[in-house]
């Protein structure tokens, strides 16, 4: 009996994950209503809607003097050897997945006050909190997600997401 229940649950998650890859309005309404913690994955990796923009994760610290400057969390760059040795691909892919999860349902989840409970938000916050302090007296940290579209010199930088300020421990 446990095997049947497990197979049904895994089958439902698989089916929901597949449906989540298509932009079906009726399915998006169901997911927005019942998947408050963004459990079902969404990937914009394969055609016909591949990812087309670069993402940047930035943060700033608040000190008693005010908010500091934004600092970007560097990701490993790609090299000509990436076909053979590319450990940075995991960080870039993880960041892309987390950011797509955050930005996809941000509006609905903020209204329900559950955005900060999603695995994507918690993972990005942990990533940001692991960065060294920019000021020794920092009391809070805030992060933002920026998106770059296009190529230089006409590349456009767009803010996509701004977190609240989180107290530093």
Residue 55 · residue 95 · CB < 8 Å: yes
Identify whether residues 135 and 58 lie together within a single domain.
yes
Range of the domain at 13: 1-34
What pLDDT is attached to residue 154?
Answer: 61
Identify whether residues 94 and 57 lie together within a single domain.
yes
Identify whether residues 97 and 62 lie together within a single domain.
yes
163 within a domain of the structure (yes/no): yes
Residue 97 · residue 43 · CB < 8 Å: yes
In this prediction, residue 146 has a pLDDT band, given cuts at 50, 70 and 90, of confident
What pLDDT is attached to residue 91?
Answer: 76
Identify whether residues 95 and 122 lie together within a single domain.
yes
pLDDT digits (tens, 9 = 90+) for 153-166: 566 788 888 888 99
40 within a domain of the structure (yes/no): no
Identify whether residues 87 and 111 lie together within a single domain.
yes
What pLDDT is attached to residue 47?
Answer: 46
Number of structural domains in the chain: 2
Identify whether residues 113 and 161 lie together within a single domain.
yes
Identify whether residues 18 and 96 lie together within a single domain.
no
In the chain, DSSP assigns E strands to 54-63, 66-67, 71-72, 140-149, 156-162, 166-167
Instruction: Give the pair of three-digit tokens for residue 117.
Output: 């409970």
29 within a domain of the structure (yes/no): yes
Alpha carbon distance 132, 15 (integer Å): 41
Identify the CA nearest to 143 among candidates 108, 104, 116, 109. Answer: 116
What pLDDT is attached to residue 165?
Answer: 93
Q: 87: phi > 0 → left, psi -120 to 50 → alpha, else beta; which?
A: alpha
43 within a domain of the structure (yes/no): no
What pLDDT is attached to residue 49?
Answer: 47
């Amino acid at each position: 009996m446990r095997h049947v229940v497990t197979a049904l649950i895994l089958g439902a998650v698989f089916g929901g994950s597949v449906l989540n890859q298509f932009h079906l309005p009726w399915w998006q309404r169901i997911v927005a209503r019942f998947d408050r913690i963004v459990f079902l994955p969404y990937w914009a990796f394969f055609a016909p809607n591949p990812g087309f923009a670069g993402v940047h994760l930035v943060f700033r610290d608040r000190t008693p003097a005010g908010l500091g400057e934004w600092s970007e969390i560097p990701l490993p760059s790609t090299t000509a050897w990436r076909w053979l040795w590319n450990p940075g691909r995991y960080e870039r892919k993880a960041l892309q997945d987390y950011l797509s999860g955050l930005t996809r349902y941000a509006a609905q989840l903020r209204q329900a006050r559950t955005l900060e409970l999603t695995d994507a938000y918690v993972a990005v916050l942990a990533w940001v909190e692991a960065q060294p302090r920019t000021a020794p007296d920092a009391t809070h940290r805030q992060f933002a997600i920026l998106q770059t579209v296009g190529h230089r010199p006409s590349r456009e930088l767009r803010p996509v997401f701004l977190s609240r300020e989180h107290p530093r421990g």
